Structure 1
């Protein structure tokens, strides 16, 4: 068993969060032509929720027919781990048909997005290298 660092309180109500208790929120960004960003997100680890000072982790869900806008983050890298579904992942000028179990790294500044052109929902774990306040720059 590890000891907590000196001065760090172990407050499980801040450290442990569950997608079923937290619930999903709709994405709220807008594209270059006013089109809405589509998908759902449930934050699980963040500055506000957990006190994190170095990362943000969420559960993302893209419903059938939805498109998470192509965009980039000039100040943060990101990753996806696909749990369910087979989304089309847009990375720079390439497209990749993902499947459950895939881990996808998105370097800072790389244009990326997700299209769910299938009949099944897509579930993913999404991580960002900043706890909050990263820039979302739409590329479409």
Structure 2
């Protein structure tokens, strides 16, 4: 690339749509053998987009599902609640989230979510590493 030139956009790597690619079930198992619950559709990552600094996904927690409490010693995370009102665990606190909430989760902070309502929860989830962050179960 010469001085002053701009990189070209590879739209097939840079743009991904949750409605086109769908969701995958979470596949982790907790400390007592319980299954981590919820659905995820990765939209930006190292492998998918070539990102070197973050990972962004669309998460969905169906009624009655629980995303087990855990922490990441090497990455911070955020949730932006799009719909629904999950109970979000942050350290020793529980917070009833609502659409429009932006929730910051510093690295090392215990967190998880429970959908104890009759409505699906949709959230945008971001992690400060593009891949390979550590996931440490706390339940």
Q: Same fold (TM over 0.5)?
A: yes
Please provide the CA RMSD for this pair.
1.1
1:62 aligns to what? 61
SS in 2 for 1:14: helix
Per-residue deviation, 1:10: 1.2
Name structure 2 gaps, 5 residues minimum: none
CA distance in 2, matches of 1:98, 1:75: 25
Moved over 6 A (4+): none
Stretches of structure 1 that go unaligned for 5 or more consecutive residues are: none
> How far off is 1:6 after superposition?
5.3
How big is each residue's C-alpha offset from its partner over 1:76-130, in whole Å with a ceiling of 9 and x where there is no partner? 0000000000000000000000000000000000000000000000000000000
TM-score (norm 1): 0.95
Counterpart residue number, 1:9 = 8
1:51 partnered with 2:50: yes
Question: How many correspondences in the alignment?
Answer: 136
Q: Deviations over 1:40-63 (max 9, x none)?
A: 000000001100000000000000
Return the TM-score normalized by structure 2. Answer: 0.95
Q: How does 1:1-140 map to 2 (within 5 A)?
A: 8-140=7-139
Cα displacement (A) at 1:22: 1.3
